[in-house]
Structure 1
Amino acid sequence: MRILLKLFFCNVFVVGLFAPARSHAEQLQEFGDYIVYYNALSADMLPDSVAKQYGFMHSARTGLLNIAVQKKGSTPQPQAVSAQITGTATPLLGQSLPIRFREIKEDDGTVYYLGEFPVSARDTYRMVLSITPAGREQPYELKFSKEYVGE
């Protein structure tokens, strides 16, 4: 089942390439030796079974973030690392909303974070995330925007 979920989230990223009105493609930001991959989407893009497994409401009124942190090193491929992630989503004319993040660790060493926040109406949300990779004291700040449709 976990392999299917990984494939699903990979497919969500690919779908984002072809459906910019509903989801941005996976994006990344490099911070020194770290790479932060991020994707923002609406929970109504998830199949009901996936939303249920992760405890998300399958609704256009829920915004989701998928974050993964990797560290560059002596190996050819960057390695997944744990991180502390906090953040807010702020609609253009509204108050800042906290994003609740959950860490997901797979048996193969994959680590990623799923965050959720309420979406009340069609609006552009500004995300501000504080990301502190394990072993690092100072956080990195990641900022980006995403338009959500709501209902």
Structure 2
Amino acid sequence: MPQAQPAEASSVTVNGYSVHFSAQSTDQLPTEVARQYNIVRSKNRAMLNVSIISEATGESGTGSVEVKTVNLTGQLKTVTMRKIQEQDAVYYIGEIPVANSETLVFDITITPDNSDEPIEVRFKRQFYTN
């Protein structure tokens, strides 16, 4: 199973797919964007955003996106991902509560449709709420 190394970067390319990922506090979202996608804006909530791009076509792709998240004390945090589709773009987003100075380690398994090879990404991000 292909696996990307822990990354600070926001994308990896494996098996003909580029996977883009980011995590940010939801209070950084514009109000109209949060409202449109039913996201609670708060400095104590983070949003994970994942997208799959076909290297062959450059188009947004679909697939399954599963996430396991833990903080540095080993506390498991559940992130339920949901698919957002706008015209030609597809995103997978999930929200999670965060505390000040909390570092989360995201383990993401992406299996693009039309592929039986999962792509695994691990990255960590520290959040500041004060």
Task: Provide TM-score, normalisation by structure 2.
Answer: 0.85
- Normalized per residue, the structure richer in helix is 1
Tell me, yes or no, if structure 1 residue 115 matches structure 2 residue 94: yes
1:31 to 3, 11, 14: 14
Structure 1 gaps, min length 5: 1-24
Q: Is the 8 A contact 2:99 2:127 kept in 1?
A: no
What RMSD in Å do the two structures reach over aligned CA positions? 1.7
2-side partners of 1:142 and 1:92: how far apart?
17
Moved over 2 A (4+): none
Partner of 1:16: none
CA contact (8 A) 1:91 1:126 kept: yes
Match of 1:105 in 2: 85
The 8 Å contact of residues 52 and 60 in structure 2, kept in 1 or not, is answered as yes
Return the alpha-carbon distance in structure 2 between the equivalents of residues 82 and 144 of structure 1: 21
What is the percent sequence identity of the aligned residues?
28
Contact 1:89 1:126 survives alignment (8 Å)? yes
CA distance in 1, matches of 2:50, 2:108: 10
The number of equivalent residue pairs is 123
Correspondence for 1:41: 24
Matching residue of 1:89 = 69
For structure 2, the 5+ residue unaligned runs are: 1-7
1:36 CA displacement = 0.3
The offset of 1:26, in angstroms, is: 7.0
1:63 aligns with 2:46: yes
2-structure distance, mates of 1:128, 1:150: 22
Task: Return the alpha-carbon distance in structure 1 between the equivalents of residues 25 and 93 of structure 2.
Answer: 12
